[in-house]
């Protein structure tokens, strides 16, 4: 399936971190974001929680969104 869960964090319209389910980890875009991404990627409970969001949110709602689009 081509479903991807993305969670981005912004401050002052600048994206500093992003979690992508296709990558499977956090990526930092600023100095502050890199530090946060390193911390979150080294914490297995945070990573497993974010990976579960795809199944918990996306896969449960995809049929509703698909039906509404048609």
DSSP character string of 6-69: EEEEEETTEEEEEEETTTTEEEESSHHHHHHHHHHHT-HHHHHHHHHHIIIIIHHHHHHHHHHH
Q: Is the pTM of this model over 0.85?
A: no
Please report the sign of the dihedral spanned by the C-alpha atoms of residue 47, residue 33, residue 5, residue 13.
Answer: positive
Domains by residue range for the chain, with CATH: 6-68 (3.10.320.10)
pLDDT tens-place values along the chain, 70 residues long: 578 889 999 999 999 999 998 899 999 999 999 999 999 999 999 999 998 888 887 777 777 766 776 6
The token duo for 61 is 């709602």
Quote the pLDDT of residue 65: 67
Cα separation of 27 and 4, whole Å?
15
């Amino acid at each position: 399936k081509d479903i991807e869960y993305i969670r981005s964090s912004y401050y002052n319209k600048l994206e500093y971190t992003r979690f992508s389910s296709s990558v499977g980890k956090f990526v930092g875009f600023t100095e502050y974001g890199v530090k946060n991404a390193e911390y979150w990627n080294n914490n297995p409970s945070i990573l497993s929680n974010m990976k579960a969001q795809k199944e918990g949110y996306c896969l449960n709602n995809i049929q509703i969104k698909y039906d509404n689009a048609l």
